[in-house]
Structure 1
């Protein structure tokens, strides 16, 4: 009997694994190598970060159902560049709970995903799309949807959502109510687009039209006279946050959008503090915007650097940094503006109204339409916007100097005390 030679087939080695309590620092420090390996988390059993040749992702290994016969499954939680370790742990815990209940997170279950889990997925989507206002948007959604965070998204009704909007409105924060409505609409459209719900419960929802009495009582808040601007500048001092005071004054001086100013950095200014360049990824138009600065706005920035250093202990790159969370932009606008509204005596007062005041003021000074529109970063319509790429920076500097000269005559309101 002849013997047959055995053929030896090499087996690919399984990825090596370590077991230790993961930290953000360890995840960042883990370097891709020639061989794939994993670090298992001790805080959440089954969670690991897999380090490949050019990727780092969180994965979860668990069982679908209970008992020894339950099928083993592996779920990709997300890329380490898109989600934090805390988010990965929260998602892993939610997935483990679903798996024990026999729900496979990899198979879309219409309406079954919990609101908190879907909010995390929505945040990942916003980050991947590089949405500038992601933090503000998610803060509004999480704060207002918190009572419903553990409910399946399919159980969230239109009545639940309109009750939240009405409650914010009745608390005297119409801007926050409108902001939540917009964010909730986007979030629920995302849920519908991804197949988590058949249709958004806010589909077709519109704000009630203003009545004749409401229209007669006054439209959008704008300051049209020097006396109104004087009253506003005095009212600004009622805020207990000197950095927020400077933020309001600077917004009136430059007329730029709230989030563009709130995320402004020292590195975006030229050496003479005469030009502020807003990067394209932070403008509404998606194009880089150059803002000329005059003597008042430059003096305010120089003064603010000294004040911020005294409050925070160092000069942060973020100019209007939160004094409670140094290095983070300000938030909670609805609450911040309340004392200024009371001191001014008009509940319609808003940060966006400062932008309207700036644009109105340019027209009052006789600044031509094209220059004034460029000053506030509006896109030029039609073929002019397509073919005319001029910056008219000299005309814009002249317009800014004229506006700041006008404001300088109103008194010494510009430096932070």
Structure 2
């Protein structure tokens, strides 16, 4: 052994490990021997690197409480393959502080898990349960809970949460506020069910009952006249984002849900049959849904393919990708819609309102109830939905042609 090599002491009944300042290089170069041995760290008393035959781990020896009568404990900090020396020292110092206060880090503490970590666990649960809107839900939660990400979940109060909701509403985004409230309720119910908190801080929370004036002002936006549709199509041109323009236009043309269109892929299109097939894992009803495409829809998608350089039918790429991440669907709805709302002159204008406009328009154009409901992917109620598996595809293709002819006449 060279003079620069580490001097080690094998751990026996009356032996102790050598104490020295650990470095990442020393940790990396520590080699296994016939017997397990340890190197104590000078910088953090009680922290040691244990070298076994197949692994190197950091451990901490300290006392639970203060005084000579305090119980001695040993805690595994982590494997050197998954944790750095700096991280091990930080964790060791944190554990020492807890131990002096009588808190055993090895015993799970109610509410001790950090909000960011619990959000990760919640996302894993949503994915395992195949929740369709997992990405949107987690974006709402992570964005709005970002200032509290390093806080223990047990410290998150109703006051903190209602302040977030009120802040979103005051910024002119009531829909986003309501969406966050729903997602936060689900997240905190998950936390309570798993035992991380005794009860959700939003348990029993209800929004104040709306006054008559509020109900009138909050009436759902739907276009019911040709003049309104013309005004919308003109306002849509004020959006500086051609991808977002195309998404809103396709929503008006097909009446499908925002999430279904935002995650639309080229491979889902069949140009021969003029059909778009939405897989079951992305529909609200959890069933595969086929959407007829008329001449305007097909032309829009063709132009979009030229704009993005995509090859329809030959790729599983997203049709409406995010500009920052091509493999991620477009998002940022609240900001993107602002110029369109201003140009149209109604702050209630929404993407879901385009879906209502589509459904209302089908009825106005004489499409029968059953066909119109199938067009927007609604489940058939009762026994009809259980026993009738017809697709009435020809009727739906005709209904789509009638609707797109109507929009084409208004676009001229």
TMscore range, shorter length: 0.7 to 0.9
- After superposition, the Cα gap between the structure-2 partners of 1:125 and 1:324, relative to the gap in structure 1 and judged at 3 Å, is same
1:169 maps to which residue? 169
Q: Distance in 2 between matches of 1:330 and 1:225?
A: 30
- After superposition, the Cα gap between the structure-2 partners of 1:372 and 1:111, relative to the gap in structure 1 and judged at 3 Å, is same
Whether the aligned pair in 1 keeps the contact of 2:375 and 2:396 (CA below 8 Å) is yes
Map Cα deviations across residues 23-67 of structure 1 (whole Å, 9 max, x no partner): xxxxxxxxxxxxxxxxxxxxxxx9xxxxxxxxxxxx996546658
2:15 maps to which residue? none
> How many pairs are equivalent?
343
Whether the aligned pair in 2 keeps the contact of 1:185 and 1:202 (CA below 8 Å) is yes
- After superposition, the Cα gap between the structure-2 partners of 1:246 and 1:93, relative to the gap in structure 1 and judged at 3 Å, is farther
For 1:224-263, list aligned pairs within 5 A.
224-263=224-263
1:199 maps to which residue? 199
Q: Offset of 1:151 from its aligned partner?
A: 1.4
234-243 or 132-141, which deviates more: 132-141
- After superposition, the Cα gap between the structure-2 partners of 1:92 and 1:343, relative to the gap in structure 1 and judged at 3 Å, is farther
For 1:56-135, list aligned pairs within 5 A.
62-63=58-59, 66=62, 70-73=73-76, 99=95, 101-102=98-99, 107-135=107-135
| 2:309 partner SS | helix
For 1:13-412, list aligned pairs within 5 A.
62-63=58-59, 66=62, 70-73=73-76, 99=95, 101-102=98-99, 107-217=107-217, 219-272=219-272, 274-309=274-309, 317-412=317-412
Q: Mark the runs of 5 or more structure 2 residues left unpaired by the alignment.
A: 1-23, 26-47, 49-54, 64-71
- After superposition, the Cα gap between the structure-2 partners of 1:167 and 1:64, relative to the gap in structure 1 and judged at 3 Å, is farther
1:24 maps to which residue? none
- After superposition, the Cα gap between the structure-2 partners of 1:221 and 1:112, relative to the gap in structure 1 and judged at 3 Å, is same
Structure of larger gyration radius? 2
Q: Distance in 2 between matches of 1:340 and 1:170?
A: 20
Whether the aligned pair in 2 keeps the contact of 1:61 and 1:72 (CA below 8 Å) is no
Q: Offset of 1:218 from its aligned partner?
A: 5.3
